[in-house]
Amino acid sequence: MAAVTVTTDPAGASPRGGRVQAPGRGLGEDWKRHIVGQLKHRDLSQHAQFQDLIRFYTRLLEKTSLTKGILSCSLSRPSFDSSCSISSLLHQKKQLKKTTGELAYQVVDLQQQIKIKERDLEEQHARLAEEEHRLAGALDARQELQERVEQVQEENGALKTEYDSLLERQRAAEMRLREEKVREEHLLEDMIHLKQQAAARMNSRNERKSRAREAKLQKELQTAARAKVTVDTCSSAPTSRSTSPKTENQPESEKRHTRLFRSASATSPRILSSIRELFDRKRRGHSVCSLEEDLVCPVGIWGSARVPVRALQVLEAHEQGINAVRFSASSDLLATGGTDRVIKLWEVRAGSLTHRATLDGSTEGITCIEFDPAGFRILAASYDKSALLWRLDDSVPKLTLTGHSRKVTAARFSSCLHQVVTGSADRTIRLWDLHRAACVQEVEVVSYCSDLVCSENCIISGHYDSKIRVWDTRTVSCIQELPAQGKVTSLDISSDHRQLLSCCRDDCLQLLDLRRRSNERMCFRAEGFKCGSDSTKAVISPDSCFLAAGSADGAVYIWNVSTGNLETRLPDKHSLSISAVSWSLSGEYVVSVDKSRRAVLWSDI
C-alpha cells in the first residue's frame, strides 16, 4: 500500500505543507479508502492545531488579567517611574487586545473555511457515489447491449442462411418455371399442329363426302334431265318417265291436248351454281372457325326508358366506398366495384337486388366495370396499375393485363371481341389482344386519361386538360380533338353509337352528335347539381331520351334530351357524393352508388 507523508513543524503543533503520494495502479478500490483515511487524519491534525491556538489564547487572557493586577498595585504607589511603566503597560495592553482580536477573527475565519471545506467534501463524496452508481448502471447496460448485439448477429446469421436457401429455391423454381414455359410452348405448338392436322383431315373427309354427294346429285339431275315427262293440261295427275297405255289408246284429238317436254331448267347453269354454293356453305360450316365466328353475341333489348320516381331498395353493398356500377346487356345482372378491391354481382328480380357472387383478385380498388356483349365475361380497371378479366362463373381472374405505370382509370371492350382498350393516369392508352394477353398498340397522350368509350374503328377518350380526343385504331393516330369546359370525369356513348355524353368538373353535362362534323353540342345544367369528384360517372338512357348523373349533394339528377330541361331530382337516399349511375338496357331500372358503400335501385313502379 502506498504511504502518505505528513510534515509538521518541530513543535508538532500543526502540519506544514502535507504531501500525498498517489497510490499505485492496479490496486482496485483500496486507494480511494486510503485517501479518505488520510483526509480524516489531516482533519484531526488541523483540529488539534486549533486546539493549541485556543490554548495559547487562553494563556494570553490569563497573562492579561495578571497584568491588570500588577497595574492596580503600581497605581497604589505613585512615583514618576511608575507613571512611565503604567503608560507602557497600557500601550502593551492595547497591543495585546489588538493582537487578541486579530487572532480571534482568524480563528472564526478558519472555522468557517473548515465548514465550507467539509461541505465541499461531502458534496464530492455524494457526487462520487452517484457517478459510481451511474457507472455501474452503464456497465450493466453495456453488457446487456453487447448480449443483444450478439443475439441479433446470431439471428441475422440464421436469417441470412434462410434467405440464401430461399434464394436458391427461388432460382431453382424460376428455372423450373422457364422449363415448364418452354415445355408448355412446345406442347401448345404440338397441340396446334395436331389440331391443324385433325382439321385438315376433317376438311378432306368433308370435301370427299361433299364431292361424292355433289357427283351423285349431278348424276341424278342428268338422269332426270334425260327422262321424258307427260303433262296433262286439264289435270294435275302425276307424271311418268314414259307414256301410259291409256294415252296410246286415246284418239288423235285428245293427243293434241297432251305434249311431251323435257325439263331443261333443271340442268341450267343457274341451278347448278346455286347447288354448288349450297355445298360450299356446308363444307365451310364443318371447317375450323375463329373465336369470333364461334362466339355468339346476344344483342341486348333496348327498351323505352322510364323515368324513375322512387327507390325500390337501399342496401350497403360493399365494405367501403363504391366507385363503379354497370348493368349487363340482358339487364338481369348488375355489377358493383369499390375500394374494398372486389366486384359484387347482383341479380335483378322483381324490383330487388340479390347477391349472386363476389369476384376478387385485385390488390387495390376498382375504378371501372364493363360487361362483354355476350354477357359471359366482365372487365374491370384497378388502382393496382392493371386491368382484370373474369368469367362470370369463376371468382378468379382469367387474365390480368399489366403494363401501365400508374392506376388504370378505364377499361372497355373494343369493337373486336378479342380486344380491350385501357386508359391510365400514366397518360397512355393501350390496346390489348386477349388471345395473347399482350399489348398490341400503345398511344401516348399529353394529359391524364379519365375515361374512354369505343366505337367501330374508333376510341374516344376524355382527359384532364379539358379535351376529348378521337383515335383511329387502324392508323393509331388522333383524328379529332373536341374542347370541353373543364376536366372530363366520364364519357358515355349511346346504344346506337350516335351520341356522346361527357361529364365535366364545371358541373355541366354535354351531349355531342357524332354524325355531325361541327362541334355543336347541348349543355345540361341544374340548380344544385355539383360534380362531386374527378371520376363522377354520367349515363345516357338506352333510348337516348334522358341523361342521368349523381351530384355531390347525394341526389340523382335526370334531364330530358328533347327539351334540355331537368326532368326530375331523386334526393334523400344517399348521405355522401354519388360516384356513378347506371341505366338498364331494358329502361326499367336505374342504380346509383356513392362513397358511403350504399347502392340504391330506382324505378317508376
Instruction: Look at 80-84, 115-119, 329-333, 475-479 and tell me which has the smallest mean pLDDT.
Output: 80-84
pLDDT bucket at 125, cuts 50 / 70 / 90? very high
Neighbours of 219 (CB within 10 A): 10
* Amino acid 128: pLDDT: 93
Residues 6 or more apart from 367 whose CB is under 8 A from it? 323, 324, 337, 380, 381, 382, 383, 407, 408, 409, 410, 535
pLDDT in tens, 504-520: 999 999 999 888 777 77
* Dihedral angle computed from the Cα positions of residues 392, 395, 400 and 404, in that order, rounded to the nearest 10 degrees: 100
- Among 8-17, 203-212, 574-583, name the most confident range: 574-583
In whole angstroms, what is the distance from residue 234 CA to residue 243 CA?
A: 16
Closest CA to 325 of 358, 368, 384, 385: 368
In whole angstroms, what is the distance from residue 532 CA to residue 568 CA?
A: 19
Mean pLDDT rounded to a whole number for the chain: 79
* Amino acid 239: pLDDT: 38
Q: CA 149, 152, 156: angle at the middle one, nearest 5?
A: 135
pLDDT bucket at 51, cuts 50 / 70 / 90? confident
* Amino acid 31: pLDDT: 83
* Amino acid 72: pLDDT: 63
* Amino acid 364: pLDDT: 92
Give the N- to C-terminal CA distance of the chain in Å, as an integer: 111
In whole angstroms, what is the distance from residue 187 CA to residue 180 CA?
A: 10
Whether 529 and 504 have beta carbons less than 8 Å apart is answered as: no
pLDDT bucket at 529, cuts 50 / 70 / 90? very high
**DSSP-assigned letter for residue 39:** H
User: For a pLDDT cut of 90, what percent of the chain falls above it?
Assistant: 40
pLDDT in tens, 97-118: 778 778 888 888 888 888 899 9
The DSSP code sequence of 486-513 is S-EEEEEE-TTS-EEEEEETTTEEEEEE
pLDDT bucket at 84, cuts 50 / 70 / 90? low
* Amino acid 27: pLDDT: 52
* Amino acid 267: pLDDT: 41
- What global pTM score does this model have? 0.53
Whether 265 and 271 have beta carbons less than 8 Å apart is answered as: yes
Residue 605 in this model has a pLDDT that exceeds 80? no
More confident residue, 270 or 77: 77
Instruction: Look at 111-115, 367-371, 591-595 and tell me which has the smallest mean pLDDT.
Output: 111-115
pLDDT in tens, 215-267: 888 888 888 877 765 544 433 333 333 333 333 444 443 333 333 333 334 44
Closest CA to 329 of 292, 299, 306, 368: 299
pLDDT bucket at 71, cuts 50 / 70 / 90? low
Whether 332 and 349 have beta carbons less than 8 Å apart is answered as: yes
Q: CA 396, 398, 403: angle at the middle one, nearest 5?
A: 110
Residue 360 in this model has a pLDDT that exceeds 80? yes
In whole angstroms, what is the distance from residue 513 CA to residue 516 CA?
A: 6
Residue 477 in this model has a pLDDT that exceeds 60? yes
In whole angstroms, what is the distance from residue 384 CA to residue 259 CA?
A: 85
What SS3 state is found at 436? coil
Query: Pairing mode, if any, of strands 467-472 and 458-463?
Result: antiparallel
Average pLDDT over residues 468-477: 86
Average pLDDT over residues 480-509: 90
Whether 590 and 581 have beta carbons less than 8 Å apart is answered as: yes
pLDDT bucket at 49, cuts 50 / 70 / 90? low
Whether 528 and 571 have beta carbons less than 8 Å apart is answered as: no
Residue 382 in this model has a pLDDT that exceeds 90? yes
* Amino acid 296: pLDDT: 43
Residue 351 in this model has a pLDDT that exceeds 90? no
In whole angstroms, what is the distance from residue 130 CA to residue 136 CA?
A: 10
* Amino acid 521: pLDDT: 85
Cell of 465: 386538360
Cell of 213: 354427294
pLDDT bucket at 42, cuts 50 / 70 / 90? confident
More confident residue, 68 or 602: 602
More confident residue, 359 or 88: 359
Spell 142-165 as b/e; 16+ CB within 10 A means b.
Answer: eeeeeeeeeeeeeeeeeeeeeeee
- State the greatest distance between any 2 C-alpha atoms of the chain, in Å, as a whole number: 228
* Amino acid 4: pLDDT: 39
Domain 310-603 fold: Methylamine Dehydrogenase; Chain H (2.130.10)
